[in-house]
Structure 1
Amino acid sequence: MTEAVPGTSGWPPPVLDPAGPFAGPLNTLAWVLFGMGFLVLVVVLIALGVALFGPRKWRQRLGGETLVWAGGLAFPIVVLSALLIYGLGLTTHLTPDPEPGEMRVRVTGEMWWWRVAYLDDQGREAWQDANEVHIPVGSTVVLELDSADVIHSVWVPRLSGKVDMIPGRRNYMRIQADEPGVYGGQCAEYCGGPHALMGFVVVAHEPEAYAAWAARQATPVQTAALPSPGAEVFDRAGCGACHAVRGTEFNGLAGPDLSRVGARRTIGAGILPNNEGTLGGWISDSQSIKPGNRMPAYPVLTGQELRDVSAWLKGLQ
């Protein structure tokens, strides 16, 4: 099942529709909590009805010391302790350290986007991407979660739960998709500024399609280094000081890697569909689209220059 990407109709993604084994236990836990909450509400409403309209004898018993101790102290302790133990047992396998042979992707929360690095078998970075995580269907993938600045939180409702990204600490999350599709994610911890506009997607491919995608990602776009009006605008505007494009002299590290930006589904960390028009609008004045983001506006670029650089970036696929 393919769901809408950020910035389009159908967003946000459904949170009670698991699409993998690591989201299933959380869905079960959610329904158990909903059910227990409903039962507690029923008990409270019955007690309220007795207190307001019940016979005098029942009201006296309801206000007795024994029932107050049982209902006000013993009942919450027993119920909440049971739910805690049940929840921990159900979810303990979701966040352990990686095991040998598991695919690993390092996701770093930035203000306000996601740096994505694919790791080889030795844990070394193979290539970078941004705001998208690609995985093979049916395989467990470990996300290594870091933060470059403040606390963020990764949440892909249909594939797993919420795990915080904490500066100076690495956390782990396991995800797996049972079917090909695009699964929406969101930062689930308020991180200031345009936090609500910090989305991303997980794209699940059939294993053969994923292998082909990974092979493309590992090599630069052949046309990236060829002279073009768009590349000249990119260079003249100083974009390479913040962004990298593999196969060229542009090697900035502050912003997202743009080596294959044209193939991404969205721009601005999930808030706009990716096409030449939205790329041009973002470059011209990203602050009017996502106030507070760290990319400056470029009002000095002419319409033709914006079209040239947008076409060049869209061609990086």
Structure 2
Amino acid sequence: MPDPIREIVEGMRRLLPSERPACEYDIPEQFLKAGDQPYLPLDALVERNRHWYVLVLRMLLGFRDDYRRIPVNPVGTAGESATPSWRNCDLPVLDALSLYGFLCLNRPGRYLEIGAGESTRFARRAVDDHRLATDIISISSFMFPSGWFAERARTDPDDLIGPTVFSDLEEGDVVRVATYHTSGIRGYSEMVQYVLPNIRPGVYVQLQDLFVPSDISPDRSGGSYADQLLVAEMIHSGEMDIILPCNRVARDAELNTVLSPVTEDLRLDEGEMQGRSLWVRTR
């Protein structure tokens, strides 16, 4: 199974003198109380690896023609159409673009998502456009409309963090987690504590509404401070590699410029290339 980003990940690791970021683990007490500053060790790591994120973004630009064929505005009645759209109420543009791109790059055997909706539409579009032999597994708190498409929708909460759901994942497979809209999982805390450590190395995970290295979103929505910090600890301790910090890319003028061809193609308004997710790769 191809994994074209592995070389980039290994390159990021070679930049570091050890498995841990080369900076002091020293967070001021006022930061811990306020919870509105960057997670300092990871902020330094992300800044140091920004040229690698440029390479990843350029790889995603390889699917520019595919992005152009996806409608900007919704088609048909919301919740009933199988066609994704860039402007939707569920998934920001950069999160959708990166999900489509990573599926096409990795050509995974399995795509497992916890929390379904617009992400499922983009996943199905990627599979159809590139004839991927990818099994889409959606774990959701609701059932898809009858006849929408023939993916497996699982609603049993006992399945959500059961080891059997994740035991078949292999290197290059893709997992998406959007737990704040899914029953059965209280937050990222359970995913980080009980699931991610037991996933095999080399699996790509999109953590929605996670803003590491910042600990909160710009509009103070999304995951709790405790959830953000727990994921940050896993990354800092070397259990996961940051592949693409979408929120940082969206707010960084230099990184966002890399995606300007797509913004121009889709005729998006200024500031619409937003991201609310973090892409990591398990070790």
Q: Identify which of structures 1 and 2 has the higher relative contact order when contacts are C-alpha pairs closer than 8 Å and 6+ apart.
A: 2
> Given the two structures, how large is their TM-score scaled by the length of structure 1?
0.23
* Structure with the larger strand share: 1
**Who wins on radius of gyration, i.e. which is larger?**
1
TM-score (normalised: structure 2): 0.25
Which structure features the higher share of helix residues? 2
